[in-house]
């Protein structure tokens, strides 16, 4: 049986500085619930312990799309970091909140989120995600991480409206619908999507969907 999946570990950036942690947790879970209804997944985004969340996706592309939607949908003042690991994900027992899992997917995801944190504190402060896989797929690892470096820089520079417009477009809302919701013209929506780099994000996801990742 093929047990290869993409395990994702999520943590909250600067969680200790959030004054209302209970409210923040509720807002994050609400955002993740909306993402679960949109993105293909093998296990939904769920809280584990402390400021950490986990999920499992069938493919790298599914994981990239879900984490992009998360970054666009999270409320102002809250950001998350993502470690993506492609490898085996296997059930090894039962726990209080579901199956206990192990495998290289989780090992790589832990390595990836640690690396994302390290790089965020170094030369690439806008970075919020990293990807690890087995040593035989370093070309794919390099490709995905190059995408994440660019993606996170674009998202990090977006204002709240730009993020809402990008999210709405990705999930299929029309520019006319988005214009009404934002109280602006359709032309203003189009300009904002191009100016913020949202169009690049949308095209990149479309390209990734056509690849066997």
pLDDT digits (tens, 9 = 90+) for 17-59: 888 888 888 899 999 999 998 888 988 888 888 788 999 999 9
Q: What is the pLDDT of residue 169?
A: 95
Q: What is the pLDDT of residue 15?
A: 85
Number of neighbours of residue 109 by Cβ within 10 angstroms: 30
Q: 37 in a domain, yes or no? A: yes
Q: 142 in a domain, yes or no? A: no
Q: Tell whether the model's pLDDT for residue 95 goes beyond 60.
A: no
Range(s) of the domain holding residue 49: 4-136
Q: What is the pLDDT of residue 208?
A: 87
Q: What are phi and psi of 145, to 5 degrees?
A: -70, -30
Average pLDDT over the chain, rounded to an integer: 90
- The DSSP 8-state label assigned to residue 75 in this structure reads P
**Tens digit of pLDDT for each residue in 76-94?**
889 999 999 999 988 666 6
Q: Tell whether the model's pLDDT for residue 136 goes beyond 80.
A: no
Q: Where are the alpha helices (DSSP H) in 55-197?
A: 60-73, 104-120, 138-156, 160-170, 175-182, 186-196
Number of neighbours of residue 48 by Cβ within 10 angstroms: 13
Q: 15 in a domain, yes or no? A: yes
Q: What domain count does the chain have? A: 1
Q: 165 in a domain, yes or no? A: no
**Which residues sit opposite 55 in a β-bridge?**
8
- The DSSP 8-state label assigned to residue 96 in this structure reads T
Q: Which residue has the higher pLDDT, 175 or 92?
A: 175
- CATH code of residue 38: 3.30.70.270
Q: 164 in a domain, yes or no? A: no
Q: What is the pLDDT of residue 145?
A: 96
Q: 212 in a domain, yes or no? A: no
Q: 160 in a domain, yes or no? A: no
Q: 16 in a domain, yes or no? A: yes
> What is d(CA 72, CA 76) in angstroms, rounded to the nearest whole number?
10
């Amino acid at each position: 049986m093929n047990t290869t999946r993409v395990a994702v570990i999520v943590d909250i950036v600067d969680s200790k500085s959030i004054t209302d942690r209970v409210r923040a947790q509720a807002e994050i879970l609400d955002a993740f619930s909306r993402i679960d209804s949109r993105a293909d997944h093998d296990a939904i985004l769920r809280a584990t312990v402390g400021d950490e969340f986990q999920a499992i996706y069938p493919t790298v592309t599914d994981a990239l799309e879900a984490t992009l939607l998360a970054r666009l949908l999270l409320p102002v003042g809250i950001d998350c970091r993502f470690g993506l690991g492609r490898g085996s994900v296997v059930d090894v027992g039962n726990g209080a909140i579901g199956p206990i899992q192990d495998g290289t997917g989780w090992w790589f995801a832990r390595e990836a989120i640690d690396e994302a944190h390290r790089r965020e504190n170094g030369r690439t402060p806008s970075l919020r995600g990293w990807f690890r896989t087995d040593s035989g797929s370093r070309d794919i690892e390099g490709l995905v991480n190059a995408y994440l470096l660019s993606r996170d820089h674009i998202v990090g520079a977006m204002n709240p409206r730009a993020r809402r417009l990008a999210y709405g477009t990705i999930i299929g809302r029309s520019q006319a619908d988005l214009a009404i919701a934002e109280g602006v013209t359709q032309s203003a929506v189009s300009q904002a999507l191009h100016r913020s780099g949202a169009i690049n994000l949308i095209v990149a996801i479309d390209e990734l969907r056509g690849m066997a990742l």
